[in-house]
Structure 1
Amino acid sequence: MSENQQLVEKAVKGDDSAFLKLIHLYKIDLFKTALSFLKNEEEALEAVQEVTYRAYKNIATLRDSSYFKTWLIRIMINYCNDQLKKKKRLVFNEEIISLQGEHVNQSEIELKEAMLGLDERSREILTLKYFNDMKIKDIACTMQCPEGTVKTWLNKALKALREKLEGKGGDLHV
């Protein structure tokens, strides 16, 4: 059993310090996931706090300690999707462009806009694969479906993204 799995086992049994160590280990992954969905640093930080609370409250429901990270990311994705539904808008925030100014190049803007134009599952699978560097196996576990299904969804998502980018006259190659 790995050191992380031992920490998870302790956290499930109520060890708060073990839980905090685990959150510390995965906070960057949580933040990157939230930022890729919410497109706002403050909202992403708030999401990390909320998901940390939800994970703490529900740690006893974790069935397999080896899937802690997957379980945590799944909570984050669900939270982010709920937040996006509440806003009922998936419009790229013009303020982000002006605030980030020269840090955001045209290709990044086109990619973010194209991602926002995809369906929820496509955005989710692309985020897990390319922004969180998750393996197909882990994505399948997170999304609770077979690996073959994940591969099919990933191919469809990439094709849809490519079409959106090409439709905008973008020179990004996916």
Structure 2
Amino acid sequence: MNLDLEKQAIAGNEQALLELLKLHEDMLYRTAYAYLKNKHDAVEAVQELTYRALKKIHTVKEPAFLATWLVRIMINICLDMKKKQEKLIYNHDVEIASTDQQPFEIADIIAGLPIEQQELIYLKYFQDMKNADIAQLKQIPEGTVKSRLHTSLKRLRVLIGKEEL
């Protein structure tokens, strides 16, 4: 087994890494599809893998295990995606079960919020960011993030019809 391509990739040669990803593309896609059971999500996982591999390739210690390293990253990405999907499905089901209304799309309701509130909701609950990280990203105090999130959630409850202003 010739490990030149792996050594070049670990040394920082992006073209070598892209060639390795191309060589292992079928195996990585099949792994993603086996976990996610969805073509679109599997493709998204492969894209995320490419990004993470480019960012962290320098951490690989043994060139012979590069393919194993890629599969491990793919599995972690798939598990993360499944957790997010389950969380969204659970939250969506709880909201539907707790209202007498017809089923609705949470995205449609969030779209009724001002843009700043929408962004906070998506960062916190869809991107799983911590308040401190949101504060740093938005360049505002963490307490401001908390109070704006509280206001946004209260407004969401009003839009759902569970609370009055």
The two structures have a TM-score, normalised by structure 1, of: 0.49
Q: How does 1:97-112 map to 2 (within 5 A)?
A: none
Deviation per CA, 1:3-44: give whole Å up to 9, x if none: 2x2101001111121111101100101100000000100110
Aligned identity (percent) is 43
Counterpart of 2:8?
10
The reply to whether residue 59 of structure 1 matches residue 57 of structure 2 is yes
- Deviations 1:94-121 (CA, angstroms, capped at 9, x unpaired): xxxxxxxxxxxxxxxxxxxxxxxxxxxx
Aligned counterpart for 2:73 among listed residues 72, 75, 98: 75
Q: Tell me, in whole angstroms, the C-alpha distance in 1 between the residues paired with 2:51 and 2:4.
A: 21
Provide the rounded CA distance (Å) in 1 between the counterparts of 2:42 and 2:15.
24
Query: Rg: which structure is higher?
Result: 2
Within the candidate set 37, 40, 54, 1:39 is matched to: 37
Matched ranges for 1:1-174 at <5 A: 2-3=1-2, 5-88=3-86
Q: Which residue of 2 aligns with 1:95?
A: none
Shift of 1:87: 1.2
Question: Which stretches in structure 1 are left out of the alignment for 5+ residues?
Answer: 92-174
Match of 2:83, as an amino acid? Answer: K
Aligned partners of 2:18, 2:82: CA distance in 1, in Å? 28
Matched position secondary structure for 2:83:
helix
Q: Could you tell me which residue of structure 2 aligns to residue 116 of structure 1? A: none
Give the ranges of 4+ consecutive aligned residues of structure 1 lying more than 3 Å apart after TM superposition. none
Structure number with greater CO (CA < 8 Å, separation at least 6) is: 1
Look up the SS of the partner of 1:88 in the other structure. Answer: helix
Tell me the C-alpha RMSD between the 2 structures: 1.4
Structure 2 gaps, min length 5 = 90-165
